[in-house]
Structure 1
Amino acid sequence: MSRRMQQPKEKLCLPNNTTLLENAARVLEKTVAGTVWVSRPYGAETANPCHVPDRVPQKGPLAGLREGLARTEKEALAVLAVDLPKVPPELFRQLWRAWQEHPDADLVYPVAQSVAQPLAAIWHRRALPVIAQALALNRVPRLMEVVARLSSHTVAVDPDWLVNVNTPKDLNDFLLGWKQ
């Protein structure tokens, strides 16, 4: 919903004239086989069949995760939030290798120092029931509460990769340090 940014994050432009959405899609397209789906907020209309609207209003990123996992025919889904503009394709190669070494994990995601980022991760379809239970609550479920209920494996990465732009100040700080 981009509430803290006060405008849709996916449409924000980087200095290389790509949007945050295009940046995320390019990272995934370079490293992941299959369709790249884009989750849209509840009620957002789109003509693109790869844009999947959330079916549950006001439930945050878990609603998008649920839609992607429910639609994929694959056993796992690579996920990348648009507000993580410094995630390189190499992250998904590392996550994939870790997932192959830990095939029973419901989720493989990066950590750097004290930052965990399950929105730049590989999620298994086995996570769907736990996500559905969280979405059925009468509150917005916390992503890390769901992660805690899953079998997961973490991969240590460069902290720079997990820079998150949630607010106008975050975006300004990111753009001031921009290096292509």
Structure 2
Amino acid sequence: MGTEKALLSVGGKTLIDHAIAQARAISEDILIVGPKETFSAYGRLVADVYKDCGPLGGIHAALARTQTNLNLMLAVDTPFITKDFLVYLADAARNNPQAVVTVPRTKDGLQPLCAIYHRSFLPVAEQALKEGRLKLDALFQPASTHLIDLASDAMKQRGFSAAMFDNLNTREDYERVKRGQSRSAKP
């Protein structure tokens, strides 16, 4: 996109401000993974231990720093995620203590950047990073992953849908979000 997405403004708030506000629905203890020069004004920062390793590197850095067992990982470029959904996700993680990851699933696949990770995922992430395996989905073991199926009737009845996971990857996506439309709402 050519610019730092987190600092883009939608509805009078930057995406980072929006993500922090949404995350505060389930915790006041917010860690931000990113460069100090960009994000120091927004809260406590965590630097990647494994540089240039994408989302897995950020998840690892956050889990290495936290003392909390259950940790929300939330991408900054998903402005349609609601507080209600994050509360539901956190409750699902608490109610499934055997789950190492509680992750939403849409028809497009798993949504690992809006998921609850138990701290016990840290050694899995560490080993994968050491081996250069960066694809998150491949690290989720079926026995220890609790899936939240967004296509289910229960999710639809709660008003949750896959459209919440529309993110900003292009300038066109950003312009559409500024108009208040999700990708799913596109004609």
The alpha-carbon deviation at position 108 of structure 1 amounts to 0.4
- 2:2 is matched with 6
User: Are 2:164 and 1:161 aligned?
Assistant: yes
- Residues 2-151 of structure 1 mapped to structure 2, 5 A cutoff: 5-14=1-10, 16-29=11-24, 31-41=25-35, 47=40, 50-138=44-132, 141-148=134-141, 151=144
- When residues 128 and 149 of structure 1 are mapped into structure 2, their CA distance, relative to the original with a 3 A threshold, is farther
Between the aligned residues of both structures, percent identity stands at: 28
- When residues 94 and 46 of structure 1 are mapped into structure 2, their CA distance, relative to the original with a 3 A threshold, is closer
- Consecutive unaligned residues of structure 2, counting only runs of 5 or more, are 151-160, 183-187
- For residues 53-79 of structure 1, what are the alpha-carbon distances to aligned partners after superposition, in whole Å with 9 as ceiling and x for unaligned? 112111001111111111111111111
Normalising by structure 1, what TM-score?
A: 0.84
Normalising by structure 2, what TM-score?
A: 0.81
Structure 1 letter corresponding to 2:165: L
Q: CA RMSD in A?
A: 2.3
The alpha-carbon deviation at position 44 of structure 1 amounts to 5.6
Moved over 4 A (4+): 43-49
Aligned length: 171
Range with greater deviation from structure 2 (107-116 or 68-77): 107-116
Q: Which has the higher helix share?
A: 2
- Consecutive unaligned residues of structure 1, counting only runs of 5 or more, are none
